[in-house]
Amino acid sequence: MDVIKSQQISSRPIEKVIVHPLVLLSIVDNYNRVAKDTRRRVVGVLLGSSFRGTVDVTNSYAVPFEEDEKDLSIWFLDHNYHESMFSMFKRINAKEHVVGWYSTGPKLRENDLDIHRLLHNYVTNPVLVIIDVQPKEMGIPTKAYYDVEEVKENATQKSQKVFVHVPSEIAAHEVEEIGVEHLLRDVKDTTISTLATEVAGKLTALKGLGARLQEIRDYLDLIVDGKIPLNHEILYHLQDVFNLLPNLNVSELIKAFAVKTNDMMLVIYLSSLIRSVIALHNLINNKMLNKEHEKAEDAKPTTVPPVSGS
């Protein structure tokens, strides 16, 4: 079976990719302008810096891109446009250089390796970041990859490039955090209470956790069935996850969870009760105030206009 040498993966030059919120907003805006409600994807260039295996993506711009949906080997990327755009961005910030490219995928495609090979003309080790502009589950909407040489077990076969996944995360500078907070404040629905928002957030997080556990189970089932080769590095990480899980069979821990849950439910119950009493009190005050206004209106003397004789 064809495998990748473990030494190549363990000595990979890129360990982490950091994507800034400005990049995500720019990509989503480009997608909504160009490819919304279509099956097309948008492609662009990522700018930033790379230091000690960490790629910091701080800016991006879109590049005209077309591909044949029936034959993915036919595609066009305007590299002349990219070169002119990069020269202008370089005048603004000389520290930013090309670190890779992005795609709205939402998954890898057959021609991605060919596009990646083109980016090698501008950067030694580019990264590919796939942005899910319409996420259907909880989690980070970015997946990062870089290419390595696949070594065949059979020496007669020619080696080829393949994508290897690399961890990605969302991070921001202080100025970006302030802008994101103002943006979220504007799009927040004020009719929904804070408690409902927190409960909805916890439910979404639990759904995301369930999806990840199902993905782990499917992966292990594929290994047991012999459909994919065993990867000891992934199994080591899974073993670390299971070792960090608390022992829920301890009676003290169960009692602590029960006490904490009861305390939280008591606060929620009292808060709801107080909120209802205050609303009822305001309703009674409003009715009393309306009655006083009606009595004041009735007590006013009615003046009859004099009738002039003929």
Residue range 15-39, pLDDT digits in tens: 899 999 889 989 999 999 988 888 8
The CA distance from 284 to 250, in Å, is 51
Quote the pLDDT of residue 181.
Answer: 77
Report which of 120, 38, 114, 37 is spatially closest to residue 73, judged by C-alpha positions. 114
71 pLDDT tier (thresholds 50, 70, 90): confident
Average pLDDT of 283-304? 83
Angle formed by the axes of helices 174-187 and 21-34, to 10°? 50
Residue 305 scores a pLDDT above 90: no
The CA distance from 47 to 58, in Å, is 6
Q: Which tokens in the block code for residue 137?
A: 């589950």
The CA distance from 19 to 49, in Å, is 11
Omega within 30 of 0 (cis) for the link into 106? yes
Residue 204 scores a pLDDT above 90: no
Specify whether the CB–CB gap between 90 and 79 falls below 8 A: no
Choose the most confident range, by mean pLDDT, from 101-110, 251-260, 277-286.
277-286
The CA distance from 8 to 67, in Å, is 32
The CA distance from 142 to 18, in Å, is 10
303 pLDDT tier (thresholds 50, 70, 90): low
pTM as predicted: 0.63
Q: Residue type for 130, please?
A: I
Quote the pLDDT of residue 3.
Answer: 43
Residue 7 scores a pLDDT above 50: no
Residue 1 scores a pLDDT above 60: no
Place of tokens 């602590």: 256
The CA distance from 155 to 151, in Å, is 9
- 138 CB contacts (<8 Å, ≥6 apart)? 204, 205, 207, 208, 211
Q: How far apart are the first and last CA of the chain?
A: 118
- 3-state secondary structure (DSSP) of residue 14: coil
Q: Which tokens in the block code for residue 68?
A: 């044949």
Q: Which tokens in the block code for residue 129?
A: 């970041």
Residue 124 scores a pLDDT above 70: yes
Quote the pLDDT of residue 31.
Answer: 92
248 pLDDT tier (thresholds 50, 70, 90): confident
Residue 5 scores a pLDDT above 50: no
CB count, 10 Å around CB of 45? 25
The CA distance from 133 to 41, in Å, is 10
Q: Which tokens in the block code for residue 2?
A: 């064809």
Specify whether the CB–CB gap between 67 and 74 falls below 8 A: yes
How do beta strands 97-103 and 127-131 pair? parallel
Quote the pLDDT of residue 11.
Answer: 42
How do beta strands 16-19 and 127-131 pair? unpaired
CB count, 10 Å around CB of 28? 17
